[in-house]
Structure 1
């Protein structure tokens, strides 16, 4: 019971923080991610400023902007490790390979799932998916490392003693 109430939420919190830190570092030091992140933040910031100054009441605009950022963070950083943690705890799958691959593949697939259409990807899109996959793998590794990473020990059934 302690595992469900304390250890799993703590492990998820630390795993999400570690994957967020990895994603931030990758967005700064990786040239493709830095260009994408820089352009997105530049355009997004100035669009927000323009909309705020053009509106009579900027409160809803700022609120919607923060809500959109929160949705993106939840979709990319919180949902994949949370889903994999729930599935692994329910099914009892606790291997390192499972946690890293499942979380990495799910995180890398999020943009493709949300796009909703099939088309050939550009090299930049594949690069972003690779970085997102590594981000998910970091979350899976950290979660696995904190949660214990192995099956809980079960007591061996005792052999019935002979009545002689």
Structure 2
């Protein structure tokens, strides 16, 4: 191939685009983070992102995408900077899959026994916390919350109670195992 063909081929390719991470530093030192315009929030019940979380946030984002990201940081005083952050070398390689294990009927784990927990009085569609907080569920269009727990999860409560908490309504229901 000639050099001209190679250049023409290169010009016909789409430009490389990197995921865009925008970090906005609020006055109190908390961070608002978006990835390609979508919010990237801390896990449920975790405190808001802080400046000290910056490295951990970037590790999580680059680990998820396994690619460099373009980062724009907007400070509360109006200054900003841009950088490219790449995944750390140890995080770039995917772990080798474990060899497949052949299971017999005797080796297969027993199916977990599930317990249904329900309560009423929630705002339709609101997020419902299930305490011992092991999962979340949404209220149905009628405001009813339903969660499926493994019996072992329910048994982890010494009182035999689970609390469903509505984050918007403030409603909570204590459900006792029957």
TM-score interval (norm. to shorter): under 0.3
* Bigger Rg, which one: 2
Q: Which has the higher strand share?
A: 2
Higher relative contact order (CA 8 A, sep 6+): 1
Q: Structure 2-normalised TM-score?
A: 0.23
Q: Which has the higher helix share?
A: 1
Q: Structure 1-normalised TM-score?
A: 0.24
